[in-house]
A and B are shown apart, each in its own frame.
Chain A
């Protein structure tokens, strides 16, 4: 290349370079101005559209870190969910307990189950309230759903509850619809039988079974269960029916011990006139 041409080419290169540098600097200094911002936005749109297929590549690069993050979130959310679910159940239970306390006129002491003897069957529970809290022996124990059992042993700070399970006693009950009285007993795992009813009595599946109040332990009108649709069994003792209790004894956590039924105890005998006594 002749020297003159080379010099011209060198000059052109410098001119182009200085022009590019100058334009860049001008743009740099005027970047915040609206016109330049619009230009930038347009360029972003155009090149961004061309680069859009790369989102797949970008996703591939970030997929593992996203997975880790999501997994951590899932674990945290799962823990939180379990905690909230527990809180919701506790809330529901406490609301029900509060509701029961408000709508019944019987005096109760609330207690929590601290241990269960034979939990598979739900035979006995120990609660965290005892004599010092005013829990009496042979007191009815209930939940908002219905009857649980009665206290059979009371210490200063705990009490043992015996449920119907084990058939150590029967509960005097009545049918809400017909007011017919009978005895409810445990006759096997998940099997509660209403006996002592005359043959051919008017009983329907779904009839509500309540405590009758006959006997000094269970106050009248506590919900116990419903008559199931299983056919009745006729024996020499009469007709018996299967009852589905309202309380699932395997899930009991909080209970009420009935300390005062609100009515005079007909069996207490305090005001009875002694036979043959002088008054």
Chain B
């Protein structure tokens, strides 16, 4: 993994902790980190994807109100399977990227809503519908921005 990716990871972590809550629209809160982890998985392989997802997940759990390990678990899955699923996928096309981010965003939200529903005795499906799905869509919107940015560049020598 390059220094640029490391710096990006730290910046996104700080951004997520710093202004993530401020970008909440209604019940939808975006994740800056998820598109990056998908990117790392696709760019550097499942080993790096898993490690990056695990570390960033733990870090964001430590900073936020979520139980430690929840995002670590979801991001580890994201990093690992994004590499596996996207292997051989047309990386420069927008749709595999967007679909992947949305699916993993949904996975993260399902886990989050499961915990939330269990801790507060709230209906899971309702939470998922009104908060989880909008959050995943918001994150996907950010992923599109990521896709259009210069950060989303294929480095053939890296894998």
| A contacts, CB < 8 Å to B | 9, 12-13, 16-17, 20-21, 23-29, 31-32, 36, 39-40, 43-44, 47-48, 50-51, 54-55, 57-58, 61-62
Shortest beta-carbon distance from B19 to chain A in Å:
6
Beyond A54-B18, A58-B18, A62-B22, 12 extra complex contacts between A and B, CB < 8 Å:
A21-B73, A24-B58, A24-B69, A24-B73, A27-B72, A28-B70, A28-B72, A32-B67, A44-B62, A47-B17, A50-B10, A54-B19
Q: Given A17-B50, A20-B76, check contact A51 B69 (CB 8 Å).
A: no
B15 and A43 form a contact (CB under 8 A): no
Q: How many A-B residue pairs have CB under 8 A?
A: 94
Query: B67: which A residues are within 8 A, CB to CB?
Result: 27-28, 31-32
Q: Given A43-B62, A47-B59, A50-B14, check contact A20 B22 (CB 8 Å).
A: no
A12 and B53 form a contact (CB under 8 A): no
Q: Closest 3 interchain pairs by CB?
A: A54-B18, A27-B69, A43-B62
**What are 12 A-B contacts defined by CB distance under 8 Å?**
A9-B47, A17-B76, A17-B77, A20-B72, A28-B72, A29-B69, A44-B62, A47-B17, A47-B63, A48-B17, A51-B14, A51-B18
B14 and A24 form a contact (CB under 8 A): no
- The distance in angstroms between the C-alpha atoms of A12 and B22, with both chains bound, is 39
B51 and A20 form a contact (CB under 8 A): yes
| B contacts, CB < 8 Å to A | 10, 13-15, 17-19, 22, 45-47, 50-51, 53-54, 57-59, 61-63, 67-70, 72-73, 76-77, 80
Q: Is the interface of B mostly helix, strand, loop or mixed?
A: helix
Query: Nearest A residue to B17 by beta-carbon distance?
Result: A51
Query: A61: which B residues are within 8 A, CB to CB?
Result: 19, 22
- The distance in angstroms between the C-alpha atoms of A166 and B72, with both chains bound, is 90
Query: B45: which A residues are within 8 A, CB to CB?
Result: 13
B53 and A20 form a contact (CB under 8 A): yes
B80 and A13 form a contact (CB under 8 A): yes
- The distance in angstroms between the C-alpha atoms of A55 and B50, with both chains bound, is 30
B46 and A57 form a contact (CB under 8 A): no
B72 and A24 form a contact (CB under 8 A): yes
B54 and A23 form a contact (CB under 8 A): yes
Select the residue from B57, B72, B77 with max chain A CB neighbours within 10 A.
B72
A26 and B69 form a contact (CB under 8 A): yes
- The distance in angstroms between the C-alpha atoms of A57 and B14, with both chains bound, is 11
Cross-chain contact of A20 among B10, B13, B18, B50 (Cβ < 8 A): B50
Query: A24: which B residues are within 8 A, CB to CB?
Result: 54, 57-58, 69-70, 72-73, 76
- The distance in angstroms between the C-alpha atoms of A28 and B70, with both chains bound, is 6
- The distance in angstroms between the C-alpha atoms of A24 and B76, with both chains bound, is 9
